[in-house]
Structure 1
Amino acid sequence: MRSGDSVYTLVWDPQAGQPLLRTLDPAFFFPEWDDEVDAAEFPARVHLAWELPEDPRTGRKARLRRVTYELGSIGAATRPRTYPWAPGKPSQVTCCLTDLEWLLEVSVLCRAKPWWATMQPVAT
């Protein structure tokens, strides 16, 4: 998605027994394009990021949430995996997911640093 205006995600819904299609605002989608990857290919790493507003009722502060999907090798020491969509094709590739949140606070004591230098991951 280099110049599109929407992002689609397709996930398997085990309860419904069918795929689920969702659309995302492209402003939340941050692919990491490798210079050697063809524009028609999907990047090996993508980030979805959005702001979670402050909730005074629960006391939760404003946060930035980032979910990262990254394709990577499972390593030679691990047996290849077989996925339901390719039953006869073992694969050495898997998709890793990272889900992090950071508080959106700027410390008064750290004004000499850029604002992102004070971002702290929070437990979810």
Structure 2
Amino acid sequence: MQNRKDDPRDVVVVTGAGGMGTAVARRLGSGRTLILADHSRERLDQVVAELSAEGYAVRGVPTDVSDRASVEELARLSAEQGRITAVVRWCTPPESPPRRPRSAESSTWTCSARCM
């Protein structure tokens, strides 16, 4: 996979179109091509529309980060847009509460989520 050399615009990739991912996209996306990825197509479309209306050069890519092929496609599409200068992976917990681990001795909480 090669970055496009003929496009001087830097590319920023942000995975996660929730509140923090969107805030990061706004902060880093100005003057750059912004690639926003999320597993929720509805949320992705909404945030891409908002950012586009605000003047950002943004493209939404539906991505399931738990699926290697999906992540590889995100990387390929991003590299086609220009020189990738930043990748921000933002992971938020699921909407359901975390589950206790099986071991009572462990203080680690686990949750089932597609991290974005």
Give the TM-score normalised by the residue count of structure 1: 0.23
The structure in which a higher percent of residues are helix is 2
Give the TM-score normalised by the residue count of structure 2: 0.24
Higher relative contact order (CA 8 A, sep 6+): 2
The structure in which a higher percent of residues are strand is 1
